[in-house]
Structure 1
Amino acid sequence: MNARMNGLRMTAILLWSIIAIPLAVAQVSDQARQRPSTCLAVAQALPHVIYASFATPVAGRGDPVTITYAGHSTYVIRTPAGVTIATDYSGAYGNDPLPGVVTMNKAHSTHYSMNPDPAIEHVLHGWGENGEPASHSLMVDDVYIRNVTTDINRYGLVEPNANSIFIFEVAGLCIGHLGHLHHRLEDAHYAAIGRLDVLMVPIDGGLTLSLDGMSEIARRLSSSIILPMHRHATPLSEFTSRMGAAFDLDFRDTAAISISIDTLPRRPTIVVLRGV
């Protein structure tokens, strides 16, 4: 039995290297290889999958992370060490207090700023320069930040690798922000993303991917907590009804939620914070 298990694990590792590594290596620096992601699966959709986070000690594992909805597509993540991160930062939301890290996507001007406050220590663009994809692999105190690039498709004009899904790994949690996602994800994207305990997903159903496409992605990632954003006038039921009975629905009367690896809900839950 042990020989069979070892054989399956070696097969999983080989398949991982064939399918996922070319994409991931193109998107991460030497720093990422020195500090491996704790959220990437060795292989997916195979028996006896082993997640890296199960074997890798994580500083602060189990400490709470606070996530606050600031507006539009901006969530503010506060780590146990006090690092503050504002997602899809345009300067309109998430400024009080001023974040130490901001991520941006350039599909629309409401998702980035070309003149952020110079006091912001880390400004991470979801797009690269000279046609190259963005590649982020950054440790900021207790949080590791990386990205998986996606394409921009504005009115039929495709700009490859011009947007990013940002992933924040902190206190044993894997937190993902889909950004201004325009297209369905391929298997290589899912492999590069890995496990996500918390998923921030745009549900406008128009300027980003359709609600059918977005709910398909959210169902496949099967995160413990799904945080809608970028709603505009879309009725929440248009998204939640597509997610099916496997996902619970939790409306909060506050804009913030405190999450730890030990307090994740037993069933996948769509959490709607105040203001969404």
Structure 2
Amino acid sequence: MVLVRWFGHACFEIVTSDGLSLVIDPHDGRSIGIKPPQTHADIVLITHDHFDHNAYSVVAKPEAEVIHMFVGEREVRGVRIRGVEAYHDTVKGKRRGRVVLYRIEVEGLSFVHLGDLGHVPEEEQASKLKPIDVLFIPVGGTFTIDASDAWKTIDVLTPRVVIPMHYWIPGLNLPLRPVDDFISKAPSTWRVERIDRNYIELKREALPD
């Protein structure tokens, strides 16, 4: 069983059954008006070098492996990681630069984190990310894809489970749209489940088809 914990914005922690902690896109909390992540990571992934995604020192253990905008494939402590280059905007990065989309394989589950993706992925990018069990996708717009493009992205990537991120929550001082904009556009083929806590436990065999 794998534990997934959300620390607000785009920061997620994946914890394996033996306690290995992998954190993606940590923020420092204070800079964006919310609580900082409270954990100690063995592996930290950074999708791009913006202040609300690259505060690795907040979560990294002294001996942690910090992987910064890595494109390619590698294995770290039994976790398979693939980084795929993409863009923070719709003009090939000319406005906001590039981002790295990460595919993470651990304990038979595949996770994909889209960072601050600013466009619907091209087929070549999508093919490097599939198949996807769990997709972390930005939905709040302004700096990333918005709710409509998020659903277009989901159609391209065909994940089994979608976890939205990078949307407005109370206290956040960034001009993002709330998650309800995204949920309201959900196709009838998707079942929406709201969870009143910041974590979920996952087993591959228990995921929807």
Provide the rounded CA distance (Å) in 1 between the counterparts of 2:151 and 2:44.
Answer: 26
User: Could you say which residue in structure 2 is the equivalent of 1:119?
Assistant: 62
CA deviation vs aligned residue, 1:222-262 (integer Å, no higher than 9, x gap) = 22211111111523331123231011011112211111111
Provide the rounded CA distance (Å) in 2 between the counterparts of 1:190 and 1:155.
Answer: 18
Provide the rounded CA distance (Å) in 1 between the counterparts of 2:26 and 2:124.
Answer: 27
AA of the residue aligned to 1:152: H
CA deviation vs aligned residue, 1:34-87 (integer Å, no higher than 9, x gap) = xxxxxxxxxxxxxxxxxxxxxxxxxxxxxx111011111101100123211111
User: Could you say which residue in structure 2 is the equivalent of 1:79?
Assistant: 16
Among all aligned residue pairs of Structure 1 and Structure 2, give the percentage whose two residues are the same amino acid: 23
CA deviation vs aligned residue, 1:145-187 (integer Å, no higher than 9, x gap) = 1111112339996179831111110111110101010112111
User: Could you say which residue in structure 2 is the equivalent of 1:166?
Assistant: 102
User: Could you say which residue in structure 2 is the equivalent of 1:39?
Assistant: none
Given the alignment of the two structures, is residue 177 of structure 1 paired with residue 113 of structure 2, yes or no? Answer: yes
User: Could you say which residue in structure 2 is the equivalent of 1:196?
Assistant: 132
CA deviation vs aligned residue, 1:170-208 (integer Å, no higher than 9, x gap) = 111110101010112111011111111000011112111
Answer whether contact 2:88 2:144 (CA < 8 A) is retained. no
SS of residue paired to 2:205: coil
- The offset of 1:94, in angstroms, is 3.1
- Give the direction of change, closer, same or farther, for the CA distance of 1:140–1:180 in structure 2 (3 Å limit): same
- Give matches, 1:224-263, under 5 Å: 224-232=160-168, 234-263=177-206
Q: TM-score, normalised by structure 2?
A: 0.83
RMSD: 2.5
AA of the residue aligned to 1:185: P
User: Which ranges of structure 1 fall in alignment gaps of 5 or more residues?
Assistant: 1-63, 127-133, 267-276
Given the alignment of the two structures, is residue 90 of structure 1 paired with residue 32 of structure 2, yes or no? Answer: no
Question: How many residue pairs are counted as aligned between the two chains?
Answer: 195
Provide the rounded CA distance (Å) in 2 between the counterparts of 1:177 and 1:79.
Answer: 17
- The offset of 1:111, in angstroms, is 0.8
Which 4+ runs in 1 deviate beyond 4 A? Answer: 114-118, 154-157
Provide the rounded CA distance (Å) in 2 between the counterparts of 1:261 and 1:118.
Answer: 28
- Give matches, 1:143-158, under 5 Å: 143-153=79-89, 158=94
Higher percent of residues as strand: 2
Provide the rounded CA distance (Å) in 1 between the counterparts of 2:56 and 2:110.
Answer: 28
SS of residue paired to 1:102: strand
Answer whether contact 2:13 2:23 (CA < 8 A) is retained. yes
Answer whether contact 2:7 2:37 (CA < 8 A) is retained. yes
Q: TM-score, normalised by structure 1?
A: 0.64
